[in-house]
Amino acid sequence: MITRRTLAAAVTFAASPALAQKTRPIVIAHRGASGERPEHTLMAYKLAIEQGCDFIEPDLVVTKDGHLVVRHENEIAGTTDVASRPEFAARKTEKLIDGQKITGWFTEDFTLAELKTLRARERLPQIRPGSAKFDGRDAIPTYQEVIDLAKAESRRTGRTIGTYPEMKHPTYFAGIGLPMEQRLADTLKKNGLDSRTAPVFVQCFEVAPLKAFMGLSKARRVMLIGQTGAAAPTKTPEDLKAIAAFADGLGPEWPMVVDVVDGGLGPPTKLVDLAHAAGLAVHPWTVRAESQFLPPKLKRGASPADHGDAETLCRALYAAGVDGVFSDFPGLAVKARNPA
């Protein structure tokens, strides 16, 4: 039986990174259970919840008529059947997205009603043939549908399931007259998620949109960083203090937390300690089970679809003191966190 006390306890666990660090790190289902179902589909999110995740992660892009929908990129040829739909053939075009020329079909050229006629498919069918068997079954969800699912599953399971939306290409969308920061803030307010304790984190690789969002919503914010590129900091205390001025958490690429040494996992870096000292929670991304995404000593098998020893990677990240882990295989991350 789900009691008010049970739900309150679950909310406290999911909402507080500091508490999560003292008890156990959160598991964030990266695009849902995207290693086993087509990414960013309701079926992928449902499976992730069944596997015990704490948060489901939707990447947000915008439609022509201003709706927030869930796709990894605004170009959708790789994750839907749009390329096979003759009625949309004329929508194929080339665009410059964040400095990169991309040819395909883009969400901002479709209304929500038009996007809803498309069907999702596996983006990496050679690596994830089991997931590809589910091609064509689900439509593109809106962020509202993902929130509704999280709330319904929280009631059903008696534990709070949060959402962890990423604003994708927000500067680009603002430049074409479809800014997403206010749309996202309005959606959170409408759903009672505009607070520091709400089960939601808003993440982005871009600094300015996170700063802008800070003035629109009380929801917690996470700055994503990679090993290379513009989002890669020098990782000094000063850098992290600057990030803490507009973010509550840091989302680093996982090798920034645990070094890869001689083809295997080395000791933890200083990043977690430095981030914690700056008041930032640390949620590294992304643990994937397939060997091609793992260091040489964790690889197993010869096929691209073969799984390696990702559980060891999860355990190493937990041992480094992280507050959460992103994984395409949330069941694996939960198992590593909660050994039998």
pLDDT, position 339:
81
Q: Are 329 and 310 in contact (CB under 8 A)?
A: yes
In a domain, 21, yes or no: yes
The range of the structural domain enclosing residue 43 comes to 4-74+124-337
CA distance 26 to 29: 10
For the cut 50, the answer to whether the pLDDT of residue 9 exceeds it is no
In a domain, 103, yes or no: no
For the cut 60, the answer to whether the pLDDT of residue 2 exceeds it is no
CA distance 117 to 307: 34
Banded model confidence at residue 234, pLDDT cuts 50, 70, 90: low
**Total domains present in the chain:** 1
pLDDT tens digits, residue range 48-78? 999 999 999 999 999 999 999 999 999 999 9
In a domain, 220, yes or no: yes
CA distance 333 to 326: 8
In a domain, 66, yes or no: yes
In a domain, 119, yes or no: no
Which residues, other chains included, contact 201 with Cβ-Cβ below 8 Å and sequence gap of 6+? 55, 162, 164, 165, 219, 220, 221, 222, 248, 249, 283
272: tokens are 């977690």
For the cut 50, the answer to whether the pLDDT of residue 18 exceeds it is no
Helix/strand/coil (H/E/C) assignment for every residue in the chain: CCCHHHHHHHHHHHHCHHHHHHCCCEEEEECCCCCCCCCCCHHHHHHHHHCCCCEEECEEEECCCCCEEECCCCECCCCECHHHCHHHHHHCEEEEECCEEEEECEHHHCCHHHHCCCCECCCCCCCCHHHHCCCCCCCCCEHHHHHHHHHHHHHHHCCCCEECCEECCHHHHHHCCCCCHHHHHHHHHHCCCCCCCCCEEEEECCHHHHHHHHCCCCCEEEEEECCCCCCCCCCCHHHHHHHHCCCCEEEEEHHHCEEEECCEEEEECCHHHHHHHCCCEECCECECCEHHHCCHHHCCCCCCCCECCHHHHHHHHHHCCCCEEEECCHHHHHHHHCCC
pLDDT, position 231:
57
In a domain, 27, yes or no: yes
Mean model confidence pLDDT for the chain? 92
Banded model confidence at residue 304, pLDDT cuts 50, 70, 90: confident
In a domain, 172, yes or no: yes
In a domain, 85, yes or no: no
For the CA atoms of the chain, what is the radius of gyration? 19
Let me know how long the chain is.
340
Q: Whole-prediction pTM value?
A: 0.92
Q: Are 286 and 322 in contact (CB under 8 A)?
A: no
Of residues 188 and 8, which shows the higher confidence score?
188
CATH number where 35 lies: 3.20.20.190
Q: Are 68 and 142 in contact (CB under 8 A)?
A: yes
pLDDT, position 228:
78
